[in-house]
Amino acid sequence: MLINFKDKNSLLLFSKAKKKYDIQIIGAGIIGISISNFLLKYKSNLKILLIERGRFINNAQAKKQNNSVKFKGLSIKGDSRVFGVGGSSLTWGNIISNITNDELSNKWPINAGAIDRYCKDVSNILNLAYSTKDKNLKKNERYFSYPIQPINFKNYLNTSKIDLLYNCNVDKVCEENKCCISIFKNQKKEIKIKSSQIILSLGTLEIIKLLHNSIKSKHLPKVNKKILGKYFMNHPKFNIGEIKFLKKNIYIKKFLLKKNDNHFSYIGISLPKKIKKKFDLLNSYVSFKPKIYSELENKINASKNKLYKLKNRALLKMIKLIDYFNFFLNKRQFLMKVFLEMEPKKENQVKIDKNNKIKVFNFISNKEIKTIKILRDYILKKYSSDYFNEEKKNITKKFIYKYAQDASHHMGGTIYDHKIKNSFVDKNLKIIGSKNIFICSSSFFPTSGSVNPTIIILAFALRLSKHILKIKKI
């Protein structure tokens, strides 16, 4: 059943039906839609209500949204979240990399091996390209892939089996008499919907806001409010310089973006374990791109002149064709783009101000800067034939705040910790101090690693679905 919260008739039909739900899932993005499918896969008669603040939009409408928030430190892009059925899958890249022990710390509810197994299961169910590994990888090389047509999770929605209430912004949640309740407003009237369980899959920033409002209105009195919003993390990404003099014996094509049958792939280079351990560094990796490609792409994007765009597109295609045959590829200059893990830091947090607006505090630490510098030097020494004559940018906090981009990977804020007093959720992602409210989002990540997070959230979504079905109540 489809219910449009902004349509009186639709709402009337919904309220007349007086349906009882086993589970409410709040947020019909990548995770909310996937959880509803996982739950139904194992128990097809479950009564599920999915609630979504946005409406049905297409990819172009999603790209035009500006959902900016205030920030201090590293910027948060206005297009880093999409409000609509399908969530951020309407604009995302769908890039996936395999999970390793190295990328995850020992602070997670389960170990990397177990997460890897869930990732494999999820990728089988959803047909993702996880574990399509390149056999020639060295230990510190990472394989990334994404489908030519990124998955739009809107297409996985099955409204013949679940109810979707869209255009409905949930403000708060609470628990009363063994029931979970979602609370939202219709004009000025407060509406409440009950169920046995609630899963919050609104995305990191919105989950924090919803929980902040619930706590503020004394609806969740026992949760660990001191932790809420703290330890926010992201993956800053930016160019850390270029290689001008590539060594002749490097087969650079191995690392560059390539098109396979139905997906693109590239290889990133991380620091070897030994160096990371010796200097106590974070996870990070560099990917290469010929400088001339970026220059032409920037020109094409910046220009409004159709003819100029056409000319440069043709030039870019021609250069790529020449590179395909390797004639000049090794003579090109290569940009080094870094993706960086951020440490979980108390001062990096998401706050909700008096006007109920989100504000993100997201600062760079010395350890993060040290990691980038050592990674840059490692790459230059290994891949350049003239390390001393390569230009080395002075990587400072100012430089990073100026050039780093938000990777739209918002993590932390309702973190898991092995010690209950430092944790917002338990190992099954239930909010500590609640009976039946769960979180499924990268907001529970205790550490961030440096690779794209969605496959990990999906892995935990599958695990959570199985866990919820074990609970006797449903």
Ligand X SMILES: Cc1cc2nc3c(=O)[nH]c(=O)nc-3n(C[C@H](O)[C@H](O)[C@H](O)COP(=O)(O)OP(=O)(O)OC[C@H]3O[C@@H](n4cnc5c(N)ncnc54)[C@H](O)[C@@H]3O)c2cc1C
Q: Using CB under 6 A as the criterion, which residues of the chain lie in contact with ligand X when the complex forms?
A: 26-32, 51-54, 80-81, 83-84, 87-89, 91-95, 169-170, 201-203, 206, 210, 408-409, 441-442, 452-454, 457
Instruction: Tell me how far, at minimum, the Cβ of 205 lies from ligand X, in Å.
Output: 9
Nearer to ligand X, 24 or 423 (CB): 24
**In the beta sheet, which residues pair with residue 2?**
164
Of residues 417, 111, 400, 409, the one with CA closest to residue 232:
409
Least Å from the CB of residue 58 to ligand X: 14
Task: Write out the two tokens for 32.
Answer: 């909310």
Nearer to ligand X, 116 or 390 (CB): 116
Q: For ligand X, give the closer residue by CB, 215 or 319.
A: 215
Q: Provide, rounded to whole angstroms, the least separation between the CB of residue 28 and ligand X.
A: 5
Minimum Å gap between C-beta 394 and ligand X is 30
Shortest separation between residue 115's beta carbon and ligand X, angstroms: 14
Nearer to ligand X, 29 or 268 (CB): 29
Q: Give CA–CA dist 111/101, Å, rounded.
A: 8
Closer residue to ligand X, CB minimum distance, 21 or 92: 92
CA 183 to chain centre: 26
Nearer CB in complex with ligand X: 87/412: 87
Residue 14 or 83 having the CB closest to ligand X: 83
In the complex, what is the shortest distance from the CB of residue 225 to ligand X, in angstroms, rounded to a whole number? 19
Residue 23 vs 210, nearer CB to ligand X: 210
| Whether the Cβ atoms of residue 77 and residue 53 lie closer than 8 Å to each other | no
Contact 117, 134 (CB under 8 A): no
Cβ 182 to ligand X, closest distance in Å? 8
Give the nearest distance from C-beta 311 to ligand X in angstroms: 28
Contact between residue 66 and residue 78 where contact means Cβ atoms under 8 Å apart: yes
Shorter beta-carbon distance to ligand X: residue 130 or 383: 130
Q: Are 287 and 266 in contact (CB under 8 A)?
A: yes
CB-nearer residue toward ligand X: 93 or 272: 93
Closest distance between ligand X and the C-beta of residue 159, in Å?
15
Q: Closest distance between ligand X and the C-beta of residue 438, in Å?
A: 13
Q: What is the dihedral of CA 364, 368, 372, 378, to 10 degrees?
A: 170
